[in-house]
Amino acid sequence: GESVGLHLPTLSVQEGDNSIINCAYSNSASDYFIWYKQESGKGPQFIIDIRSNMDKRQGQRVTVLLNKTVKHLSLQIAATQPGDSAVYFCAENKGTGNQFYFGTGTSLTVIP
Amino acid sequence: DVKVTQSSRYLVKRTGEKVFLECVQDMDHENMFWYRQDPGLGLRLIYFSYDVKMKEKGDIPEGYSVSREKKERFSLILESASTNQTSMYLCASSYGLAGRWSTDTQYFGPGTRLTVL
């Protein structure tokens, strides 16, 4: 079946550096993508989303890039802070109603 | 802000017990969802509902049932709990349009970590 995957399961960055978390998807019909942050023991928290008619979307310290040609999604976090340490995962709309495929996540560790 | 609450953060039950997990959202959302989250598997959809008294099976509905008697509340029921149902259970809601498909952002509750002994 179609699935969402991540290139790296773990990522460590120095505080203040920029972080890039990647996500590959395989369903070319997907038209909506979401990045979530999940801290230990908590539910996923919405970070940013992007629809397929866009290539880039920016939020506060975060940017999502969508490359539909290679079916690739990335989350960039600027000036990474210790509070950014969490698991980040992407969600891909299945294209059949309000259902999503979810990736397994990348664990980001920020080194002070 | 959207608020999704779940009745328990931690729950321990015995095999064969009937288990109720409750979820409430306060944003008048049409759609509600139940997922389970297991290490290495990501979130898997159990059931969802796009309207009161409406329910649809997700990817892994076996061993579960749901109830949505009121718009703000969506309950997950384990009819006879088994050890392989030990997991983190997450509820989510999204705006949607009653009875129609939508692609809105899903907002999650804090999760219930269920252990079945």
CA distances from B62 to A27, B1, B6, B40 (A): 26, 33, 22, 20
Q: Do B102 and A96 touch (CB under 8 A)?
A: no
Residue A1 has a pLDDT of 28
Q: Do A93 and B101 touch (CB under 8 A)?
A: no
Structure tokens at B61: 């509905």
Residue B103 has a pLDDT of 64
The number of angstroms, rounded, from the C-alpha of B28 to the middle of its chain's C-alpha atoms is: 17
How do A106-111 and A56-58 pair as beta strands?
Answer: unpaired
Beta strands in chain B (DSSP E): 4-6, 10-13, 19-25, 31-38, 42-49, 56-57, 64-70, 73-78, 87-94, 107-108, 112-116
Reported as a single tens digit per residue, the pLDDT across A1-55 is 234 554 448 999 999 999 999 999 888 888 889 999 999 888 999 999 999 999 9
Reported as a single tens digit per residue, the pLDDT across A47-77 is 999 999 999 999 999 999 999 999 999 999 9
Residue A3 has a pLDDT of 41
C-alpha span between A112 and A91 (Å, rounded):
29
Q: What is the mean pLDDT of residues A95-101?
A: 73
What Rg, from alpha-carbon coordinates, does chain B have? 13
Confidence of residue A95 (pLDDT cuts 50, 70, 90): low
Q: Residues of chain B whose pLDDT is less than 50?
A: none
Residue A24's DSSP bridge partners are A5, A72
- Facing residue for B103 by CB, picked from A44, A93, A105: A93
Residue B50 — left, alpha, or beta (φ > 0 → left; ψ -120 to 50 → alpha)?
alpha
- Facing residue for A43 by CB, picked from B90, B104, B105: B90
Residue A66 has a pLDDT of 96
- Facing residue for B105 by CB, picked from A31, A49, A96: A49
Residue B91 has a pLDDT of 97
Q: Do A46 and B102 touch (CB under 8 A)?
A: no
Residue B20 has a pLDDT of 97
Reported as a single tens digit per residue, the pLDDT across B87-115 is 999 999 988 765 555 567 889 999 999 99
C-alpha span between B93 and B67 (Å, rounded):
15
Structure tokens at A59: 């939020």
C-alpha span between B103 and B97 (Å, rounded):
10
- Select the more confidently predicted residue: A98 or B15: B15
User: HEC profile for B15-47?
Assistant: CCCCEEEEEEECCCCCEEEEEEEECCCEEEEEE
Search chain A and give the residue with CA nearest B43: A102
Residue A2 has a pLDDT of 30
Q: What is the mean pLDDT of residues A91-96?
A: 78
CB pairs under 8 A between A and B: 54
